[in-house]
Amino acid sequence: MQALLNTAIEAARRAGDLAMRYTKKLDQIEVHSKARNDFVSKVDIAAEEAIIELIHERYPQHGILGEESGLREGDEHLWIIDPLDGTTNYLHGFPMYAVSIGLQIKGRMSVGVVYDPNRQELFTAIRGVGAQLDGHRIRVKNQQRLEGALIGTGFPYRSSDQWMETYLNQFRAVMQVAGDCRRPGSAALDLCYLAASRLDGFWEFGLQPWDLAAGSLILREAGGIISSMTDDGDYMETGNIIAGAPKVHSDLENLLRPLLTPTMA
């Protein structure tokens, strides 16, 4: 498993270095709109290609699910890649974005790497072994309740307009109880910050597997809990998540779930 992790680390650093090379010439980057407020740049595409090239050099039989390239079938190993989580931040020079690489083996998340090239912070996890930040073990904070907690979130966008009214009601409810909220703009880093005790909880609608794969494993290996907000299904499939340190997660579920409309619950 360590060799697989090493490959993910090397690929993430390669993609992160590529992204950083363009930060002084953001106005020259070619950008396309995939959907309303959903952008892809040539940096996203080049970074994903660099990741896939390295993985297939070493594991040509493995499958790939990339945000930009889609699904490439393979064996029981599936790499789930977001080459630049936080593209909108990146294109505006807002330094909150990351490379996210997760590996699923026989349907179970087994390896996760999230690399922040701005801070050169490397979050990693192997299933059953634990989570680390730059080689040091990390754990979620032992926050006992939602009161006083710092909660991360993400605003509904893209095709998620149907969730906006519910989200605003939830946001109001959280702000009336929690210490404060933050919306940095990279779900992968939000989950890692939760794992590293920088946040106490997190919720968001409409995330994709590549947003969640690596960060969710890192969080769980750090002792956190992540679940689907809108039903009892797999959070990787619904993309509507509640996450947190155990007691904060419970408080968030109790607060947020009753605010879902009947069609969403």
Using one digit for the tens of pLDDT, what is the confidence trace for 128-161?
999 999 999 999 999 999 999 999 999 887 555 6
Using one digit for the tens of pLDDT, what is the confidence trace for 167-204?
999 999 999 999 999 999 999 999 999 999 999 999 99
Using one digit for the tens of pLDDT, what is the confidence trace for 211-221?
999 999 999 99
**Between 162 and 174, the higher pLDDT residue:** 174
Please name each of the domains of the chain with its CATH number: 2-137 (3.30.540.10), 150-259 (3.40.190.80)
Q: How far is CA 67 from CA 71, 84, 251, in A?
A: 9, 9, 32
Percent of the chain with pLDDT over 90: 76
Work out the pLDDT band at 35, boundaries 50, 70, 90: very low
- Integer Cα distance of 231 and 212 in angstroms: 17
State the pLDDT at residue 231: 75
Task: Please tell me the pTM assigned to this model.
Answer: 0.93
State the pLDDT at residue 30: 60
Work out the pLDDT band at 261, boundaries 50, 70, 90: confident
Q: How far is CA 176 from CA 35, 75, 171, 198, in A?
A: 34, 48, 9, 20
pLDDT at 34 over 60: no
